[in-house]
Structure 1
């Protein structure tokens, strides 16, 4: 009896470089490059973490709480009234980052009268029980007119805050700001979450 010869071979068929294969390779390369670009943008925009120092932003943020800073959107749109921003006072890189709320924007007139905040002659926190009357008006005892690129910031816990009222901080310029707080990490019993202002 004759045995059939085995058709097993150890030589693989050569791959033919077809347009379909080319499109598939190009697709994988494109997805990889896009992923790298998106990762870079995400890290640039949201990669900065800042730790809150002190109780000046309570109850919005607590001492030791970590916040994530959005630098990209901030550079495109700039700060708005009510935003919680991160800045270096007078651009001093040796200082720690300050976290405060924008209460007045360029063109506004700011003054603190009898412990209350006035913007453009209108009282802001008349019926707002969240804010106590400010014991110290600081430099805002006299009316301040904000120029282009200038912002007035306050801590939410106003009687325990070093902010734009203090002569050593004063008006905060856009060039001093790093970005806007967009997310607060939880700390202890205090809940974190997205900042919606």
Structure 2
């Protein structure tokens, strides 16, 4: 009986230290993140599994689970670059979001007829064919995609216009266009010091900085809420659960994102 109790105690100790080590790894180095929505298509797909590079921008209290790190402000920080794909904590909802960094402190951001303007300069857009996916429920939320060729029946081709946008500095990335909508034309947003402006690549299906937090959007994101950078998709599942290995997308293993 004593040996059995000792064995149970050793198992508990092993699990305890394994959780501590996993927590340290998650806090300081890489945090796993499953893409739950389509706001970053076609750069990131629903069901992509990524590791967030926590070393990229340093650490704040939000770097720990439950925002429990005792860090004052941000430590060991480095400045994010425009065009980075960033995971951040929503400033009011305590939910993690993934978006592309568009506006740096002091920038003026505006959308005109679906074209992004940064500091009064239009960002070039070049046609890049179509993004075609199956119209069906996707991921754990069971959402269906928006289609430019709507209405589309279950199992049909859902088509969106694909464009290549070039940001200042020469970074090219894919964006999608579904239809004309109010957020294709906005007022000028001036990014305050210590804050950042984010947008999804799936421009017509993204809750981002174009809408204020009070109105249900993201608004400006203070630097302390940045969690890290996404560089690669480790693997991807088109099914409802990551463990459904028969739905894994073979072409997205260790896929580099830009």
**Fold shared by both chains (TM-score > 0.5):** yes
State the partner residue of 1:152: 197
Q: How does 1:1-197 map to 2 (within 5 A)?
A: 44-75=27-58, 76-93=77-94, 95=95, 97-127=96-126, 129-130=163-164, 131-133=175-177, 135-136=180-181, 138=183, 141-167=186-212, 168=216, 169-187=218-236, 188-189=248-249, 190-193=251-254, 195=256, 197=258
Q: Name the CA distance, whole Å, in 2 between partners of 1:179 and 1:147.
A: 20
Q: Is the 8 A contact 1:91 1:175 kept in 2?
A: no
Name stretches of at least 5 consecutive residues in structure 2 with no aligned partner.
Answer: 1-21, 59-76, 128-162, 165-174, 237-247
TM-score (norm 2): 0.54
Q: Determine helix, strand or coil for the equivalent of 2:227.
A: strand
Q: Determine helix, strand or coil for the equivalent of 1:159.
A: helix
Instruction: Report the CA distance shift for 1:58/1:119 in structure 2 as closer, same or farther (over 3 A).
Output: same
Richer in strand (by share): 2
Q: Name the CA distance, whole Å, in 1 between partners of 2:185 and 2:81.
A: 20
Larger Rg: 1
Q: For residues 48-74 of structure 1, what are the alpha-carbon distances to aligned partners after superposition, in whole Å with 9 as ceiling and x for unaligned?
A: 111111111112111121111111221
Name stretches of at least 5 consecutive residues in structure 1 with no aligned partner.
Answer: 1-38
TM-score (norm 1): 0.69
State the partner residue of 2:148: none
Q: Name the CA distance, whole Å, in 2 between partners of 1:78 and 1:195.
A: 21
Q: How many residues align?
A: 157
Richer in helix (by share): 1
